Amino acid sequence: MTLRLLKGFSLSVDHTRVPICSSAQRLIAFLALQGMPRTRTYVAGTLWPDVTASRAHANLRSSLWRAARTGHHIIDTSTQELAVTERITVDLHDAVTRAHRLLDASRPCDDILTTQTRVDLSADLLPEWPENEWMVIEQEQFHQLRLYALEAMAERLTATRRHGEAVAAGLAAVRAEPLRESAHRVLMKAHLAAGNRGAAIRQYELYRRILREELGLEPSLALKNLLPLPAPHGGRRPPPSAGSVPAR
């Protein structure tokens, strides 16, 4: 069984999608995000905080029944605790593991510097779900982790001279958070490492305009100092080297 929480909810068995109602989806997603068994009281109180305890427990029993109606063993239950079965592979868990590896400078990551890693780290957690307290916290936590991981991925790819992939990772970070200076920094570095000074300058000017319009601020001096120095005003071109053909 595979549970996808990135970009949206999807439960599949042997690559066949399992239809499941929204209340059961919410329960399964919540338990998958916990990463450990939780008491029935904790689950009911968190998922249905605005009703009485008896009503919350009734809602929980209903959601468990609906999950069981799929015909697949999705949730391990006991008299006290609930957890998603260990037989389910959760895409978020794998993405988080890869993100932490990318952020650990002491660990090699060549095997996960892939398009699939970039795609997974470019996705938000259940972005179209209604906002509630427990979900907002989980979404923000993964959002911040994936931003740092994308930046680390861009830097690792730049260091190995995989410039096109580094630019793609940097662009993914910028799209996720357009006002984030560190995202623009790794993207500019990737452009410069590839020898594309014009692209780096355009990226700086784009960030400068966005930052001015949104916050009335200027980029940091450290970011500006990444830019190549302009040619001296009125300076002459250096003479052609021996054996070169003068431009007409």
Last residue of a domain, one of 61, 87, 113: 87
What's the pLDDT tens digit per position in 213-241?
999 999 999 999 999 876 565 444 444 44
Based on the domain organization, do 171 and 205 belong to the same domain? yes
Helix, strand, coil % (nearest 5) of the chain?
Answer: 55, 10, 35
| Secondary structure of residue 125 in the 3-state scheme | strand
Based on the domain organization, do 21 and 68 belong to the same domain? yes
Q: Write the CATH number for 106.
A: 1.25.40.10
Amino acid (1-letter code) at residue 153: M
Global pTM reads 0.88
31: containing domain: 2-87
Based on the domain organization, do 27 and 11 belong to the same domain? yes
What's the pLDDT tens digit per position in 5-38?
999 999 999 999 999 999 999 999 999 999 899 9
| Secondary structure of residue 217 in the 3-state scheme | coil
Task: Beginning with the edge strand found earlier in the chain, give each strand of the sheet holding 81-84 in spatial order.
Answer: 38-39, 81-84, 75-77
Q: Would 248 be classed as within a structural domain?
A: no
Domain count, the chain: 2
Based on the domain organization, do 151 and 45 belong to the same domain? no
What's the pLDDT tens digit per position in 58-98?
999 999 999 999 999 999 999 999 999 999 999 999 999 99
